[in-house]
Structure 1
Amino acid sequence: MNILRRLKLVFNILKGKADPVFIISTTEPELVMDNQLLYGKNVFITGAGQNIGRSIALEMARQGANIYFLDLDPEKCKKLEFELGTYTVKFKGFQANIVNQQDIDQIIEYLSRENITIDILVNNIGIAVRKSQINDFCLSDWKMVYDTNIFSPLYLTQLVASNMIRTSTKGSIIFITSIHQWLIHNDPSYSSSKAALGMVIKEMAIDLSKFGIRVNGIAPGLIKEDEQGYPRYWQYGQLQKTSIPPKYIGRAVVYLASDYFSHFTTGTVLTIDNGVASLGYRAKSS
């Protein structure tokens, strides 16, 4: 950690916006591995414009993967393309809406025309509409959440998996779920959609195993950073009293996507939650 970042950290600690544990926990080596674990692999990521999706794209590019992604926001697509330009990989962003099947069809047609076979699909996109009481129930909101979190990712997955099978690609499919597939969140549409994904992963893992395609998931806890890229204080964190920086989800995706680490791993949901789910605390967003 350079001196300016350390001074900012101390300043935030004094203001009560950071926890002293950060001095140790945010210090890490410049280079952990340089094995290009995903070299030459073609990756497709949904909702990659910010936070978890962006970190997944950057961590996978760092390991040599070609990155193709979609996001609803065209400016975020351009920004991520600019960041990916620092790596010697191929990349392209698509401004698209995951719930629009025509958008998905056009992306798949583009990839086919360019002879790009997707080796790794990361279904990251997800939305939440907070409705905590029965009087707040709104069928249209539930449909929107389920369309975004389940049905549309499954449509994309069907297309990508079918192409993997057709080309004998022993690929990897990863879903970003949530610890709220197990824990109450006072948001039943969101938590139930993530719970459904948890079983989809298990079912699909068995269904596609005969083709050598691995299907896994990651269940994050609270993922958040401040404007300086530091995690925020979070009283429910057990291992560290902080939120989790999104890069740790990106690194977990690298782990599950790489044959080197996960050649025999399928049907698994990896929990990265700072110990919250183990004690059954409700993960708050503040």
Structure 2
Amino acid sequence: MHSKEQFNLTGKVAIITGSSKGIGKAIAKGLAEQGAQVVISSRNQEACDEVATAFNEEGLKAIGIACHIGKEDQRKNLVDKTIAAFGRIDILVNNAAINPVYGPIEEVSPEIFDKIMDVNVKAPWSLSNLVLPHFQANKNGSIINIASVEALTPGLGLGIYSTSKAAILMLTKNQAKEWGKFGVKANAICPGLIKTKFSAALWQNEKILSKVEKALPSSRMGLPKEMVGLACLLASDAGNYMTGGVYTADGGYMIAG
């Protein structure tokens, strides 16, 4: 197989959660540009449809299916509607996440703790389980869990978010270990500071941004499109021998002194 062909996703179907904006939208577009039929999903149907329509106008294949990722019935609906539309699922990108608080871990309420764990950990675990039978039917599948460099080293003010993302890394490794026999590979991407609405509280604070940029070998924050290449590799045949891996795309954050 020509190396170019290894990245070809024609005929594959990908669900990307939290893909009406930011990193999720960028990854969805990248997978679609490689030939995949993509499912744009977020809480708001209108937002999903807007992105799917824009993709289709560019000659890409996309549909929008709203899903509150924290609700089991909506997760099931997402999978059922994808199968109804495309008849298969080959790639799952667990990207949707929340971080409603910034501050010391002792100030996080039990309700907020539960909410973070429900969306950031339980939802990817549950959705992956729902997709597994379809991977098994194809004897092939790729799970890409979007974690964070916060999963690898503690920052300030993001303690419970970091804890949830650290859990995602171990979930990824267990998925890879247990589901490899079904032809399933599972990997995690750990972005650094990326310019999205999700991280706006950090990069809109000039003091924090200046400190981060001075510390980073790349001297700048990242852009959503800079997560795409890694996702396309892990989704495609080019990444077939990569499973259980944790990959950073962080401008050198993890080596910054």
After TM superposition, the score normalised by the length of structure 1 is 0.78
Match of 2:63 in 1: 92
Residue 96 of structure 2, aligned match among 125, 135, 141: 125
Amino acid at match of 1:149: N
Match of 1:251 in 2: 229
Matched, 1:171 2:148: no
Match of 1:184 in 2: 154
Deviation of 1:73 after TM superposition, in Å, equals 2.7
The structure-2 alpha-carbon separation of the partners of 1:34 and 1:240, relative to structure 1 and needing over 3 Å to count, comes to farther
Q: Does the Cα contact within 8 Å between 1:223 and 1:245 map onto a contact in 2?
A: yes
Deviation of 1:239 after TM superposition, in Å, equals 3.0
The structure-2 alpha-carbon separation of the partners of 1:141 and 1:114, relative to structure 1 and needing over 3 Å to count, comes to same
Q: Does the Cα contact within 8 Å between 1:202 and 1:268 map onto a contact in 2?
A: yes
Residue 245 of structure 2, aligned match among 268, 271, 278: 268
Matched, 1:138 2:109: yes
Structure 2 unaligned residues grouped into runs of 5+ = 197-203
Q: Does the Cα contact within 8 Å between 1:34 and 1:63 map onto a contact in 2?
A: no
Deviation of 1:86 after TM superposition, in Å, equals 3.4
Deviation of 1:232 after TM superposition, in Å, equals 9.5
The structure-2 alpha-carbon separation of the partners of 1:66 and 1:237, relative to structure 1 and needing over 3 Å to count, comes to farther
What aligned pairs does 1:1-286 form with structure 2 within 5 A after superposition?
37-114=8-85, 116-165=87-136, 167-185=137-155, 186-224=157-195, 234-236=212-214, 238-259=216-237, 261-279=238-256
Structure 1 unaligned residues grouped into runs of 5+ = 1-32, 281-286
Secondary structure of the equivalent of 2:57? Answer: coil
Deviation of 1:136 after TM superposition, in Å, equals 1.2
What whole-Å deviation, never above 9, does each CA across 1:204-229 have from its counterpart, x for those lacking one? 10101111110001000011169xxx
Q: Distance in 2 between matches of 1:135 and 1:124?
A: 27
The structure-2 alpha-carbon separation of the partners of 1:243 and 1:134, relative to structure 1 and needing over 3 Å to count, comes to closer
- Number of aligned residue pairs: give it: 242
Deviation of 1:241 after TM superposition, in Å, equals 1.3
Q: Does the Cα contact within 8 Å between 1:66 and 1:90 map onto a contact in 2?
A: yes
Amino acid at match of 1:142: F
Q: Does the Cα contact within 8 Å between 2:6 and 2:236 map onto a contact in 1?
A: no
Deviation of 1:263 after TM superposition, in Å, equals 1.3
What whole-Å deviation, never above 9, does each CA across 1:40-78 have from its counterpart, x for those lacking one? 110000000111001001111111110012111334212
The structure-2 alpha-carbon separation of the partners of 1:241 and 1:174, relative to structure 1 and needing over 3 Å to count, comes to same
Question: 112-121 or 55-64, which moves further after superposition?
Answer: 112-121
After TM superposition, the score normalised by the length of structure 2 is 0.87
Secondary structure of the equivalent of 2:39? Answer: strand
- Structure with larger Rg: 1
Q: Give % identity.
A: 30
Secondary structure of the equivalent of 2:69? Answer: coil
Q: Does the Cα contact within 8 Å between 1:62 and 1:87 map onto a contact in 2?
A: no
Q: Distance in 1 between matches of 2:71 and 2:47?
A: 19
Q: Distance in 2 between matches of 1:232 and 1:92?
A: 39
The structure-2 alpha-carbon separation of the partners of 1:39 and 1:236, relative to structure 1 and needing over 3 Å to count, comes to farther
Q: Distance in 2 between matches of 1:87 and 1:119?
A: 23
Amino acid at match of 1:168: N
Q: How well do the aligned residues superpose, as a CA RMSD in angstroms?
A: 2.3
